[in-house]
Structure 1
Amino acid sequence: MTITYRKAVSDDTPDCITLRGMTRENAFSVAELAERGITLESWRDAIADGSLPGHVAIEDGKIVGYCFGHSDSGEIAVLALLPEQEGKGIGKKLLSLMVEDLGKFGFQRLFLGCSADPEVRSYGFYRHLGWRSTGSFDEAGDEVLEYPLR
């Protein structure tokens, strides 16, 4: 099957929320997302008003991965893939699309929170792509990584 990419739209939100609970690492259920203030409505509204731009990867008409970022801060909010889509370059492509989009907002650097555990897949993924530790941690205990924009 061929993977296609496009900008996320508000109507993608239900599928994105469902997919978030199906990821291999760092999965969050609908209830867990709601506890963090992320609901169907809040996510849909943020896509609609442009504060949470994103891209989705589609295979056979279904969303198999996505990446979203905050247009006001330059933070990569989430990158999620179905487990069977890992290792195919989809995450790398989605992240590069978001880096390109967020770069248009004039940020000097982008940032994200990532597990500080080298055994977790995301630890090596981001570092391999040039993201570097800031030496700080966010409120969730994740290490803050940054990516300088030129």
Structure 2
Amino acid sequence: MPLPIRPAGPADIPACIDLRGRTRENAISASRLAELGITEASWSGQVRDGVLPGVIAMAGDRMAGYCFGDAGSGEIVVLALLPEFEGQGLGRALLARMVDQLRGLGHQRLFLGCSDNPAHRSHGFYRRLGWRPTGERDGYGDEVLVLLPD
């Protein structure tokens, strides 16, 4: 049975930060996020203000994964899952909900930064879902992928 997905709220951000440090690939600790300017206060403020909408999946009282997007630009900012929930369609479901939400805000061109290393799970994941390389790099050195309307 699929896990329930609901909109993220400011109170969810501490669990999001914790989960981000426990992902299989590309885990980022709370201290490293803070160095990048991503804190509980900044992230929850962006969620509260509608700048950074998100969706989360819960397995009982435990967060299993989430996806957040930038309401202004159409960027998928982060998709993160606990390792035990990988390979079950949860990442695809979270991403689809965020894509629908950003499309509902009027974005036709959606984009994200992704590793260009084929050994990383994200490399094949996004490409199988129709995301295509643009030839650009983001500020973190990741390859920029785009999803255009069908």
Deviations 1:66-119 (A, max 9, x none): 000000000000000000100000000000000000001211210000000000
- Percent identical pairs in the alignment equals 55
Deviations 1:35-82 (A, max 9, x none): 111000001000000000000000112111000000000000000000
Give the SS at the match of 1:3.
Answer: coil
Which residue number in structure 1 is paired with residue 14 of structure 2?
14
| TM-score relative to the length of structure 2 | 0.97
Give the Cα–Cα distance (whole angstroms) in 2 for the partners of residues 41 and 94 of structure 1. Answer: 23
Q: Tell me how many residue pairs correspond in the alignment.
A: 150
Q: CA RMSD in A?
A: 1.0
Instruction: Evaluate the alpha carbon distance shift between residue 105 and residue 2 of structure 1 in structure 2; reply closer, same or farther with a 3 A threshold.
Output: closer
Q: Displacement of 1:149 after TM fit? A: 2.5
Which residue number in structure 2 is paired with residue 84 of structure 1?
84
Which residue number in structure 1 is paired with residue 57 of structure 2?
57
Are the counterparts in 2 of residues 51 and 72 from structure 1 also a CA contact under 8 Å?
yes
Confirm whether residue 32 of structure 1 aligns to residue 32 of structure 2.
yes
Which residue number in structure 2 is paired with residue 101 of structure 1?
101
Ranges of 4+ aligned residues in structure 1 off by more than 3 Å? none
Give the Cα–Cα distance (whole angstroms) in 1 for the partners of residues 82 and 45 of structure 2. Answer: 24
Describe how 1:69-148 pairs up with structure 2 within 5 A: 69-148=69-148
Q: Which runs of 5+ in 2 are unaligned?
A: none
Q: Which runs of 5+ in 1 are unaligned?
A: none
| TM-score relative to the length of structure 1 | 0.97
